[in-house]
Amino acid sequence: MATPLPPRRRPTMVDVAARAGVSRALVSLVFRDQPGASAETRARVLAAAEELDYRPDSAARLLARGRSRTLGVLMTVREPFEADLVEAIYPEAERLGYEVLLSARTPGRDEATAVEGLLAHRCEAIVLLGPDVDDAFLAALGARTVAVVVGRAAPGLDSVHSADAEGVRQAVDHLVGLGHRAIVHVDGGTGPNAAARRTGYLTALAARGLGDRARVLPGAYHEDAGIAAAQTLLAGPELPTAVLAANDRCALGLLDSLRRNGIDVPGQVSVVGYNDDRLARLSHVDLTTVRQDAGLLARHAVRAAAARLDDPDRAPGETVLTPELVVRGTTAPPVRGERR
């Protein structure tokens, strides 16, 4: 139907070889930066390639060498924290000599489809961002290829995530230190890590002798959950003086909803998020939050994948990074000595 090849054929190694007056193999050497070509030949080959606007075809290259040296990254397009991760994956992958292929999970395209696409392109390992994938799927994937999960624990696979309970503890300690006693947690519902954060919250409160003041509001990892939680709080008899949200997006919804209803943050209510994504850092948001260092997570993930690829027998490991509270503008001491 259509012309099988574009009018001006893409140049190949043969063309370059012919133009430079050498063999195909030599061109290959030059392009792989291997020893075995004299400086002037090398220059001649490069010049010829330049003139022809030649660039190696990675499909062929991939086919010919055993390894593709390609990492597949499964992501969503909406999550700011994942964007931070992606940005950090590229340089680390490059450093280790890997290419990166991105595949997005969208409402109409599930993780299985996205992963098939990556695997068909011979990705040697898959890095799964954002923990919204189910366990069975992960297990199956892990059996088929090298997979690294970022953002949550994944039994049997390599995973890189941060210590949620510790992060939450820091947040709680910060709030308690400021004088807060009525600290509500809007949780992540059934979302991944939500249980860990919830438990962390309860434990931290108990440790501060505030176990009986614990109050968990059902939530989720997105803005709407924050909004809903704000409605619940506003409808209640008395506002807490501080709220610990499931993540930054949830905190954002909460923040906006509170302010819209005339509540001063942090004057009347302090708000703490979780993740420290780009949005939280924006000057107009200026959210106090628990930082999960995206760069560090990404680097560890890429390294885990590479290490696993170099040594397939390596036992899968869980890397747990310590999160760190970042105090910004949404937390302050409570208004005044609260009643009771």
- Write out the residues near its own copies by the rule CB under 8 A: 1-7, 53, 55-60, 62-63, 66-68, 77-78, 80, 82-83, 86-87, 90-91, 99-104, 106-109, 116-117, 119-122, 144, 223-224, 226-227, 252-253, 256-257, 259-260, 278, 282-285, 309-312
91 preceded by cis ω (within 30°)? Answer: no
* Sequence-ordered list of residues with C-beta below 8 angstroms from that of 258, at least 6 positions apart, any chain: 230, 233, 234, 265, 269, 271
Residue 71 binds which one of its own copies, DNA, none, with CB within 5 to 8 A depending on kind? none
By the rule CB under 7 A, 56 interacts with DNA: yes
- 13/147 with CB nearer DNA: 13
d(CA 48, CA 27): 10
By the rule CB under 7 A, 144 interacts with DNA: no
Paired sense of beta strands 215-217 and 242-244, if any: unpaired
Residue 227 binds which one of its own copies, DNA, none, with CB within 5 to 8 A depending on kind? its own copies
To the nearest 10°, the Cα dihedral for 61, 65, 69, 72?
A: 70
Residue 25 binds which one of its own copies, DNA, none, with CB within 5 to 8 A depending on kind? DNA
Residue 281 binds which one of its own copies, DNA, none, with CB within 5 to 8 A depending on kind? none
By the rule CB under 7 A, 47 interacts with DNA: no
d(CA 188, CA 273): 12
Q: At what angle do helices 194-207 and 164-178 cross, to 10 degrees?
A: 40
Which among 51, 204, 197 has a CA at the least distance from the CA of 217? Answer: 197
d(CA 340, CA 206): 18
Q: Which stretch binds DNA (CB under 7 A): 7-15, 196-204, 260-268, 309-317?
A: 7-15
- 65/260 with CB nearer DNA: 65
**Minimum CB separation from its own copies for residue 77, in Å?**
4
d(CA 14, CA 44): 14
Q: Which stretch binds DNA (CB under 7 A): 24-32, 97-105, 222-230, 266-274?
A: 24-32
Residue 224 binds which one of DNA, its own copies, none, with CB within 5 to 8 A depending on kind? its own copies
CB-based contacts of 110-116 (< 8 A; 24+ apart in sequence):
111/74, 111/137, 112/137, 114/74, 115/72, 115/74, 115/141
Residue 54 binds which one of its own copies, DNA, none, with CB within 5 to 8 A depending on kind? DNA
Q: Which stretch binds DNA (CB under 7 A): 6-14, 111-119, 232-240, 255-263?
A: 6-14
Paired sense of beta strands 242-244 and 183-186, if any: parallel
Which among 175, 191, 198, 188 has a CA at the least distance from the CA of 251? Answer: 188
Measured in degrees and rounded to the nearest 5, phi and psi for residue 215 equal -150, 120
Query: From the CB of residue 55, how many other CB atoms can be counted at a distance below 10 Å?
Result: 10
**Minimum CB separation from DNA for residue 64, in Å?**
3
**Minimum CB separation from DNA for residue 63, in Å?**
4
**Minimum CB separation from its own copies for residue 210, in Å?**
30
**Minimum CB separation from DNA for residue 288, in Å?**
50
Reported as type and span, the H/E element at residue 26 is: helix 24-31
By the rule CB under 7 A, 145 interacts with DNA: no
What distance lies between CA 3 and its chain's CA centroid?
A: 42
Q: Which residues bind DNA (CB under 7 A)?
A: 9-10, 12-14, 22-26, 28-29, 31-32, 35-38, 41, 54, 56-57, 60-61, 63-66
